[in-house]
Amino acid sequence: MHSIIERIEKEIASWTPEAGAEEVGIVRGSGDGIAEIDGLSKAVMSEMVLFDPTFDRTLAEALKDPLPIYGLILNLEEDGVRAVILGDSAKIYEGMLVRRMNRLLSIPVGEELVGRVVNPLGEPVDGKGPVKATEMRPIEREAYGVIDRSSVNAPLHTGIKAVDAMIPIGRGQRELIIGDRGTGKTSIAIDTIINQKNEPVSTRPICIYVAIGQKESKTAKLVAELSARGAMEYSIIVTAPASAPAALQFLAPFAGAAIGEYFMEQGRDALVVYDDLSKQAVAYRQLSLLLRRPPGREAYPGDIFYLHSRLLERAAKLSKEKGGGSLTALPIIETQEGDVSAYIPTNVISITDGQIYLEANLFNKGQRPAINVGISVSRVGSSAQTKAMKKVAGKIKLELAQFRELEAFMQFSSDLDAETKKRIDAGRRMTDVLNQSRGAPMPFEMEAAIIFAATNGYLDSFRPEEIRAIEAKLQEYLYREAGGILMAIKESKEIREGTEKDLRDKLDAFVSRNQSSDD
* DSSP-based three-state secondary structure for 109: strand
Q: Give, in degrees to the nearest 5, the angle at Cα 18 between 13 and 20.
A: 115
Helix (H, G, I), strand (E, B) or coil at 146: helix
Reported as half-sphere exposure (CB side, CA atoms, 13 A), residue 395 has a value of 9
Active site positions, annotated: 379
Instruction: Give me the DSSP letters along 372-407.
Output: -TTT-EESSGGGGS-HHHHHHHTTHHHHHHHHHHHH
Residues 6+ apart with CB under 8 A from 44: 73, 76, 104
In the chain the first and final C-alpha atoms are separated, in Å, by 91
371 forms beta bridges with 358
Q: What is the 3-state secondary structure (H, E, C) of 187-204?
A: HHHHHHHHHHHHCCHHHC
For 67-171, where are the E strands, in sequence order?
69-77, 80-86, 97-104, 106-109, 117-118, 135-138
From residue 473, alpha-carbon distances to 16, 343, 433, 481, 510 in Å are 80, 46, 12, 12, 9
Q: How many Cα atoms sit within 13 Å of 23 on the Cβ side?
A: 15
Quick one: which of 197, 239, 234, 235 has its CA closest to 218? 239
**DSSP structure string for 53-95:** S-SSS-HHHHTTSSS-EEEEEEEEETTEEEEEEES-GGG--TT
- 103 Ramachandran zone, left/alpha/beta (phi>0; psi -120 to 50): beta
Q: Where are the alpha helices (DSSP H) in 205-294?
A: 216-228, 246-265, 277-290
CA 375, 378, 383: angle at the middle one, nearest 5? 150
Cis peptide before 66 (omega within 30 of 0): no
Strand partners, 354: 378
The C-alpha atoms of residue 481 and residue 460 are separated, in whole angstroms, by 22
User: Can you tell me the distance from the alpha carbon of 115 to that of 207, in angstroms, rounded to the nearest whole number?
Assistant: 10
- d(Cα 502, Cα 83) in Å, to the nearest integer? 66
Report the alpha-carbon distance of residue 43 to residue 73 in Å, rounded. Answer: 8
